[in-house]
Amino acid sequence: MTFLVQAYAFLYQFADSFAFLVLCGLGLAIIFGMMGVINLAHGEFIMCGAYVTVLTARAGLPLPFAMLAGTLAAGLVGLILEFLIIRRLYHRLFDSIVATWALSLIATQGMLIVAGPSIEGLKTPFGSFELGEYSFSVYRALLPLVALSLLAALYWLFVRTRFGRYSRATIEDADMARALGANTSRIYSQTFGLGAALAGLTGALYAPTMTAVPTMGQAFIVQSFVTVVVSGADVMLGLAPSAAVLAFIQSLLTKSYGQLIGQIGLLLTVIIVVRVLPKGISGWVLQRNAGH
Amino acid sequence: MVNSAISRRFATTLIAGALAGASLLMSTHAFAQQPIKLGLLEDQSGNFAIAVIPKIFAYQLAVDEINAKGGVLGRKLQIIHYDTQSDNTRFQEFARRLTQQDKVDVIFGAFSSASREAIRPIMDRAKQLYFYNNQYEGGVCDSNVFVTGAVPEQQFSTLIPWMMEKYGKKVYTIAADYNFGQISAEWVRNIVKEKGGTMVGEEFIPLSVSQFSQTIQNIQKAKPDVLVTLLVGANQASFYEQQASANLNIPMASSVNVGQAYEHKRFKPPALKDMYVTANYVEEVVSPASDDFKKRFRAKFPQVEYINQEAANAYDAIYLYKAGVEKAGSVDQEKVKAALGSGGICTDGPSGKVCIDPKSHHTSHRIYLIHVKADHSVDIPKVWDDIQPYWLGSVGCDLSKKPDQSQYTPSNLPKK
Amino acid sequence: MFWSAFGTIVLAAAVLPMFVNDFAITNLTYFLVWVFMALGLSLIWGYAGILSFGQTAFFGLAGYTYGVVSINLGEGGLWTWFALVVSLVMPLVLAVIVGYFMFYGGVRDVFVGIVTLSITLVFETFMAQTAGPEWTIGSARLNGFNGMSNMPPLTIPWGETPLVFDGTSFFWLVLAMGVLVYLGLRILVNSRFGNVLVAIRENPDRAEMLGYNVRMYQLLVFVIGSVLAGMSGVLYTLWGSYITPSSMGLTAAALPIIWVAAGGRKDLTATLLATVLLTWLSQQLAVKGNQYALIWMGAILLVVVLFAPEGLFVTVWKKLRGRMRARQAEPSPKTASSTSA
């Protein structure tokens, strides 16, 4: 019995890390993984989603609707920023570093000025359940399922829908797509907005589990980038395996040696994986399949 | 010929630019002789702004009150504040600016120990009088530095025995994995052993971590009676909500939360249920001095979110400086330092009487035990009066006899 | 004629201490300290096309090495200079290892950025927890997040009163080093080596096919740039007598990239000017603008990147050149009248 409990405890921990990495990486996977925009303001989209969720929930909106509001707010902000700023940078992607860094400064400081250094947070919904000597948060146990569903939904979106196909075509070869009749600027806009909305959703989902401060984006940004880069060129294919590998190693190390080794281990794993698979996980998979 | 014309233009522009740049860099000679200049190095933005903004208000409150009564030695006090943005390099830049350009008479500031340690060499080099007004891991034995913040012997020697007596002798510590957390954890370990308890676990967590599922599992496995939490920063503060959602339900003890960043006001109940904190002041203290202080504070700064212990320290620091200047009869820094360290320099602040100990340059404190209840209201089950900062003196730091510029820890004691 | 202007500026800077006060000099020194890392990154990224996001790892390694070695060996004799040399050797060694690992392992493009970022973050996380007494090298405590301090300044023994490089003398030292590095880099980028770098940046495969050992060039340029980052690290540590793990964190790592990108990464002079200007500007904003400082900084960077796509100074320089050319193209009245007469 205790073996099952311990096994579940580890599985829970792994799933928790996995969910965190997937959700961190989702929005960035689209904006950076697919579109190539190095979005250093990714954490701030997450913060935006979290803040809007908290504020609307405290104003009385039921939590699921508050989360939806957070997601939509981030998506809207993404659309506006794409229109004003990002679309001028598609042909010079390195400059998106400076632009998004600047946006991140403005967003963080602006939020501090507008909303103060912190706002009262939310309670994590659903309570807890017990298993052996442990008790777990129900909500956090559900997050991995949410992460997986989102991955599946995105896969469906990008592979099976017209929008998805147009989007991938435009990103791959904008001139050809335009020649074939696609409204490329609208597609870029919508894809970016989608990425921003997903980041907002991450913020919304984690808002009831964390403190809401203007700098909360910093808790996500590093994990986002490493997960997305390790997943390789085809993010839809690579994100889940990337998150799984990194989460597994991080959980194992944290459990055995503590949080410090877990954090360092995560970063070292990234270095080693990139060295061993220089095109990321999906690059390696595609290369293997191409050989057959 | 075309090229040389361009190059000549460029050269002229470049020289002009350089000269303009040089003139911008030239100092503006500080002419104001009359006001006494108080330099402020506090984080008005960035990660630490939450706990520091009330401090900034408190300094201003004290200065305005003193000026309204005629100032010090007939001179008004003037604050020169630079927002250090929770960034150590800004602390260094602005410390230089305050000492070398603005030539202030005293500096107050720093929140994190790292920022204090970043500027202490600069203070020492300039022999600048410097007040550090934050609770921290203790041990700074520096002739130029005076500390109004609480130290471990004041916070842990009171808190840990009380918690062990009430809840049991098995203690688990989770601490931020850096100097403050490690040294504080060492203090906890020593006190637990001294009182016959057992450390059933100790976990050190890097500052960037915000997800605590594994930590929660480890705690549950160890089954402690008391959980000592020494968590710093917004990332780590997420622990409280996460442990509540996992229904950890173990009484918690801390020296650092609630009193600084008022987590009990920012987190939804019951995240901080049964949290016990020792602080030298919180807003919830009810006493004539505290009530009057709060009234004046809110009258002047109605926007303050919470009047925390650092605000009380900052307020007291200004009045202690005033007392030192008045005893010395001048603002000459060597004279003021000597006066401040001569004994008998006290102020009656929001938490009662606070005096500077000549051996360590730290202040005595009244320590309140704050208990956060399930609905996040607060009661104060115990108060310890006049706890001296005895540790530094007991290990050999005596600034009244021997100058020094170091920071000591239980495992790095002064050489005899 | 560029060089006469350059010489004038250097001369002006050298005599500056006679006209301005101590603070202005130490402040200017502070801005100059960062120039080395920026120039190194300009070389690696602008000229060779390798986006390294972890130059701060070398910065921190050099700074800590100086601290450890100089605290242990003391300030007597020429030991502080020995410490300086050692603290440049350490980043060199690390850069060789990391560079070999990456370039000979086929790591390219954005992956280089992620690997180097991970390295600097590993350093930061590791160093931040070295607070305990067991983390001592010789007599130097690493002191974790609180940082290491009290390392001696560079000293030359001179009988009774040794020459201590502090304040104005330190400014001259940094200025001299800056001039040497700048000149050295200019020679380097204008040489064959530099041309090959640019060829590799534009099309690595073609360069490979033309017979150039691309990986060796990448490794070399990475090492040079990283040693420069180390130089900034040592000078920063000397300037403030302090080094801390947060110098290796994410924000610190992003800053040189911002300076280099905003100034014009493909041009050394533009990078130098941008670094000094941006560090000065962000300080001024923080001094004057209180809580809006960071917002102004962000807004200015946005404007620069949107309207000066090749970097601020490069764009300004090109516009100036364009206008001067246009003016030269107008026929002069004298010539016209002489022909018609």
pLDDT of the residue at A147: 94
Q: Give yes or no for residue C89 having a pLDDT over 80.
A: yes
Q: Other C-beta atoms within 10 Å of B281: how many?
A: 30
Across the range A99-112, mean pLDDT stands at 93
Do A43 and A179 belong together in one domain? yes
B328: left (phi over 0), alpha (psi -120 to 50) or beta: alpha
Residues of C whose CB is below 8 A from B121: 149-150, 240-242
Helices (H), C129-242: 168-190, 192-202, 204-209, 214-240
A211 to A51, A119, B250, B293: CA distances (angstroms)? 10, 8, 21, 29
Q: Tell whether the model's pLDDT for residue B78 goes beyond 90.
A: yes
- A221 falls within a domain: no
Give A283→chain B minimum CA distance, Å: 30
Interchain contact, C258 vs A222, CB within 8 Å:
no
Domain count, chain A: 2
Q: Which residues of chain A have a CB within 8 Å of the CB of B46?
A: 215
- Interchain contact, A135 vs B248, CB within 8 Å: yes
Whether omega before B270 lies within 30 degrees of 0, making that bond cis, reads yes
Higher pLDDT, B19 or C315: C315
pLDDT given for residue C337 in this prediction: 46
The percentage of residues in chain A with a pLDDT greater than 90, rounded to a whole number, is: 53
| Mean pLDDT calculated for residue range C279-292 | 84
Q: Is C257 a member of any domain?
A: yes
What average pLDDT is seen over chain A?
90
Cβ-based burial of B2 (10 A; exposed 0-12, middle 13-18, buried ≥19): exposed
pLDDT value at position C333?
59
Mean pLDDT, range A277-286, rounded to an integer: 84
| Helices vs. strands in chain C: H and E counts, helices first | 14, 6
Lowest mean pLDDT among A46-55, A281-290, C83-92: A281-290
Range from B25-29, B266-270, C56-60 carrying the lowest mean pLDDT: B25-29
Q: What is the pLDDT of residue C334?
A: 55
CB atoms within 10 A of CB C284: 13
The answer to whether the CB of B156 falls within 8 A of the CB of B122 is no
The answer as to whether C333 is a domain residue is no
Q: Given an 8 Å threshold on Cβ–Cβ distance, is A213 in contact with B261?
A: no
- For B209-248, the pLDDT digits (tens) are 899 999 999 999 999 999 999 998 888 989 999 999 999 9
Is the predicted pLDDT of residue B14 greater than 80, yes or no? Answer: no
The reported pLDDT for the residue numbered A183 is 83
Q: Do residues B7 and C8 touch, judged by C-beta distance below 8 A? A: no
Q: Would the pLDDT of B27 be above 50?
A: no
Q: Are A237 and A199 found together in one domain? A: no
State the best of C126, C146, C279, C332 to mutate against chain B, taking most chain B CBs within 10 Å: C146
Residue A71 has pLDDT above 80, yes or no: yes
Q: What pLDDT sits at residue B15?
A: 56
pLDDT at A185: 84
**How does residue C341 score in pLDDT terms, banded at 50, 70 and 90?**
very low
Q: Could you tell me if residue C340 is inside a domain?
A: no
Partners of B184 on chain C (C-beta within 8 Å) are none
Is C338 contained in some domain? no
Whole domain around residue A53: which residue ranges? 26-213
C118 interaction partners in chain A (CB closer than 8 Å): 226, 267-268, 270-271
Query: Tokens representing C102?
Result: 């990456």
- Helices and strands per DSSP (H, E), number in chain B: 13, 16
Report, as an integer, the average pLDDT of B122-135: 95
Token pair 């991955």: residue: A151
Q: Among residues B98, B104, B65, which one has the least CA distance to residue B83?
A: B98
Residue C58: closest CA among C104, C109, C119: C119
Long-range contacts for A131-136 (Cβ within 8 Å, ≥24 apart)? A131/A5, A131/A8, A131/A9, A132/A1, A132/A2, A132/A5, A132/A9, A133/A5, A133/B220, A133/B221, A133/B223, A134/A5, A134/A9, A134/B217, A134/B220, A134/B221, A135/B220, A135/B246, A135/B247, A135/B248, A136/A12, A136/B246
- Residue range C207-248, pLDDT digits in tens: 889 888 899 999 999 999 999 999 999 999 999 989 999 999
pLDDT band at B32 (very low <50, low <70, confident <90, very high): very low
Q: What is the pLDDT of residues A236-275, one digit of tens each?
A: 788 999 999 999 999 999 988 988 999 999 999 999 999 9
CA distance linking residue C159 with residue B212, whole number of Å: 59
A131: helix, coil or strand?
Answer: strand
Distance CA A183, CA A170 (A): 9
Domain-embedded: residue C144: yes
What is the per-residue burial (b if ≥16 Cβ within 10 Å, else e) of C316-339?
ebeeeeeebeeeeeeeeeeeeeee
Average of pLDDT values for C259-271? 88
C314 vs C305: which has the higher pLDDT: C305
**In the numeric block, which tokens belong to residue B180?**
């403050």
Q: Please indicate whether, in this complex, the C-beta atoms of C302 and A103 are within 8 angstroms of each other.
A: yes
On the question of pLDDT at B267 being above 50, the answer is yes
Contact state of B208 with A218 under an 8 Å Cβ cutoff:
yes
CB-closest option in C24, C144, C286 to B90: C286
Does residue A227 lie within any of the structural domains?
A: no
Among candidate residues A17, A8, A34, A6, the one with its CA nearest the CA of residue A244: A17
Chain C interface includes A272 (CB < 8 A): no
Residue with the bigger pLDDT between C340 and B96: it is: B96
Q: Provide the pLDDT confidence category of residue B30 given band limits of 50, 70 and 90.
A: very low
Q: Residue C332 above 60 pLDDT?
A: no
Closest CA to B66 of B382, B318, B396: B318
Among partner residues B53, B206, B267, which is closest to A263 by beta-carbon distance? B206
**A123 and B305 in contact by Cβ < 8 A?**
no
Chain C residues with CB inside 8 Å of A263's CB? 125
Residues B379-392, mean pLDDT to the nearest whole number: 94
Contact C301, A98 (CB under 8 A): yes
> Contact partners of A by the rule of 3+ C-beta pairs under 8 A?
B, C
Flag whether residue A110 sits within 8 Å of chain C, measured between CB atoms: yes
Q: Domains in chain C: how many in total? A: 1
Mutate to test the interface with A, among C302, C304, C310, C312 (most CBs of A within 10 A): C302
DSSP symbol at C154: P
Angle, CA B223 vertex, CA B221 and CA B225 arms, to 5°: 160
Q: Are B349 and B133 in contact (CB under 8 A)?
A: no
Whole-prediction pTM: 0.87
Query: What is the pLDDT at residue C338?
Result: 45
Interface of C with A (CB under 8 A): 51, 101-102, 105-108, 110-111, 114-115, 117-119, 121-122, 125-126, 129, 250, 254, 257-258, 261-262, 265, 291-292, 294-295, 297-302, 304-306, 309
Domain assignment present for C339: no
Q: How far apart are CA A22 and CA A25, in angstroms?
A: 5
Does B339 have pLDDT greater than 90?
yes
Residues A148 and A245 in one domain: no
Query: ∠ at Cα A254 (A252, A255), nearest 5°?
Result: 65
Place of tokens 């130098």: C272
Tokens at residue C194, please? 């530099």
Our CA-based measurement puts residue A4 at a distance from the nearest CA of chain C, in whole angstroms, of 34
User: Per the domain annotation, does A9 fall within a domain?
Assistant: no
Q: Identify residue B272 by its one-letter amino acid code.
A: L
Are residues A143 and A249 located together in one domain of the fold? Answer: no
Q: Is residue C188 exposed (0-12), middle (13-18) or buried (19+ Cβ within 10 Å)?
A: middle
Residue A17 lies in a domain: no
Dist. CA B178–CA B184, nearest whole Å: 10
Taking residues C131-146, report their average pLDDT: 87
Cβ distance C144 to B85 less than 8 Å, yes or no, reads no
- In whole angstroms, how far apart are CA A138 and each of A183, B237, B270? 44, 20, 17
* Residue A173 scores a pLDDT above 90: no
Question: Quick one: tokens of A172?
Answer: 């791959």
Chain C residues in contact with A103 (beta carbon < 8 A): 298, 302
Q: Do B96 and C23 touch (CB under 8 A)?
A: yes
Dihedral, CA of residue A210, residue A216, residue A217 and residue A220, to nearest 10: -40
CB contact under 8 A, B93 and C27: yes
Decide if A245 is inside a domain. Answer: yes
Query: Is residue A154 included in any domain, yes or no?
Result: yes
Q: A35 to chain C: which residues are within 8 Å by CB?
A: none
Burial class (CB in 10 A: 0-12, 13-18, 19+), A148: middle
Q: For residue B384, what pLDDT is reported?
A: 95
Q: Is residue A19 part of a domain?
A: no
Shared domain check, A244 and A173: no
Which of B14, B22, B180 is nearest residue C16 as measured by Cβ atoms? B22
The answer to whether B204 contacts A216, with C-beta atoms less than 8 Å apart, is no
Structure tokens at C277: 């200007």
For residue C120, the enclosing domain spans: 2-328
> Is residue A1, in this structure, part of any structural domain at all?
no
Cβ atoms of A121 and B266 closer than 8 Å: yes
The ipTM (two decimal places) reads 0.87
Whether residue C337 is contained in a domain is answered as no
How many Å apart are CA B115 and CA C127, to the nearest integer? 16
pLDDT of residue A33: 82
C83-89 average pLDDT score: 95
> Is residue C142 domain-resident?
yes
Looking at the complex, report in whole angstroms how far the Cα of residue B38 sits from the nearest Cα belonging to chain C. Answer: 16
Chain C contacts of B104, Cβ < 8 Å? none
Q: What is the mean pLDDT of residues B179-183?
A: 90
CATH of the domain at C259: 1.10.3470
CB within 8 Å: B245 and A127:
yes
User: If pLDDT is split at 50, 70 and 90, which confidence band does C9 have?
Assistant: confident
Please report the pLDDT score of residue B7 as a whole number. Answer: 55
**Phi and psi of B287, rounded to 5°?**
-165, 160
Longest dimension (CA), chain A: 64
Q: Which amino acid is at A226?
A: V
Q: Does A233 touch chain C (CB under 8 A)?
A: no
How many other CB atoms are there within 10 angstroms of residue B18's CB atom? 18
Query: Of the candidates A186, A213, A240, which is a domain's last residue?
Result: A213
What are the angstrom distances between the C-alpha of A48 and each of A21, B210, B261, B274?
Answer: 19, 18, 22, 32
Between the alpha carbon of residue B399 and those of residues B326, B365, C160, the distances in Å are: 21, 19, 30
In the structure, what pLDDT confidence band is assigned to residue B282 with cuts at 50, 70 and 90? very high
